[in-house]
A = this chain, B = another copy of it.
Amino acid sequence: MSSLPTLVEGARAGRTRDIARLISLVENGADAVPELMRELAASAGAARVIGITGSPGVGKSTTTSAIISSLRHAGARVGVLAVDPSSPFSGGALLGDRIRMQQHATDDGVFIRSMASRGHLGGLSATTPQALRVLDAAGFDVVLVETVGVGQSEVEVAGSADTTLVLLAPGMGDGIQAAKAGILEIGDVFAVNKADRDGADSTARELRSMIALSDRSGQAWVPPVVKTVASTGQGIDDLMSALDQHHSWLVATGELHLRRVRRAREEVESIAIGMLRRRMGSQDERGGLADAAAEVAAGRTDAFSAATALVTRLMQG
């Protein structure tokens, strides 16, 4: 196994195998991860990060593939993190989708990696921010983070991306239901894919009026709704132009910087919470977490009192 500095150097030079190894380190939570993150800190922040989310069946993989082609055509190097149990990248593919991806698999300017969503059912892997930093440092111009849009993961993908693309398909009642539940707040750009099917116009119209009625209508950026047929490429130019416009808006308004500081804040907080959680978990002697849980379960104390005692103890320890 090469040394960490050698792998980092290789990744910076764009060597696929070294990039893949670094992401494996990150994914396995190797002891070397903090050192790796220190190495990469200075070179991060150049890549544009686009999150892509939507319910199963809206055509996320086909759309991702079409976006890759378009970015490649424009000369950009593209990294892809697919955090999705049903994604073709991670093995749950239809044969057609897999074949479609082959063209990118042999392209040196494209790096595709599936990530297990360990402990994050259907959501973003906890190690996604670190994998993003590896791809960023490896010089990819754009990193696409694809994740299945179910509940919490949509919010997470929005948290880790500069621009969040939410996909819907016509005739999926669930799509609009999901919209009600929260995607309206996280999408920067919406695409109604499979727009050659019945109901595409009404889905797009419904979405536009929901956006108009939402809190976002008064904001500086009102999310556009484009119609695409990713399998034929129809509408992909419009989609790319909407994504580019959002990026320009982010840069011009300073919102890009604000989003990245917010993302860094969440990352630092989440790592710190993980450290504190491990400290608490290791307090398994008398007075520790396991003891507290047994006392609460037996009704001898309540969860608040137990938590207060635990935190006091941790602060002293």
Contact residues in B for A33 (Cβ distance below 8 Å) = 304
Main SS at interface, chain A: helix
- Cα–Cα, bound, A60→B174 (Å): 15
Q: Mark A259-278, 1 if CB is under 8 A from B, else 0.
A: 01111110111011101110
Number of interface residues of A (CB under 8 A): 73
Q: Is the CB of A303 within 8 A of B150?
A: no
Closest to A120 in B: B152
Q: Is the CB of A301 within 8 A of B121?
A: no
Q: Using A121-B154, A151-B150, A280-B272 as known contacts, say yes or no to A264 and B41 having CB atoms under 8 A apart.
A: no
Contact residues in B for A129 (Cβ distance below 8 Å) = 303
Q: Is the CB of B307 within 8 A of A275?
A: yes
Q: Is the CB of B257 within 8 A of A297?
A: yes
Can you give 30 A-B contacts (C-beta < 8 A)? A34-B302, A34-B304, A37-B303, A38-B302, A38-B305, A41-B301, A42-B300, A43-B299, A44-B299, A56-B173, A57-B173, A85-B180, A121-B181, A122-B182, A123-B152, A150-B150, A151-B152, A152-B153, A257-B297, A261-B297, A265-B293, A268-B303, A268-B307, A268-B310, A269-B280, A271-B303, A272-B310, A273-B273, A273-B277, A315-B317
Enumerate chain A interface residues (CB-CB to B < 8 A). 33-34, 37-38, 40-45, 56-57, 85-86, 92, 120-123, 129, 150-155, 173-174, 177-178, 180-182, 257, 260-265, 267-269, 271-273, 275-277, 280-281, 289-290, 292-294, 296-297, 299-308, 310-311, 314-315, 317
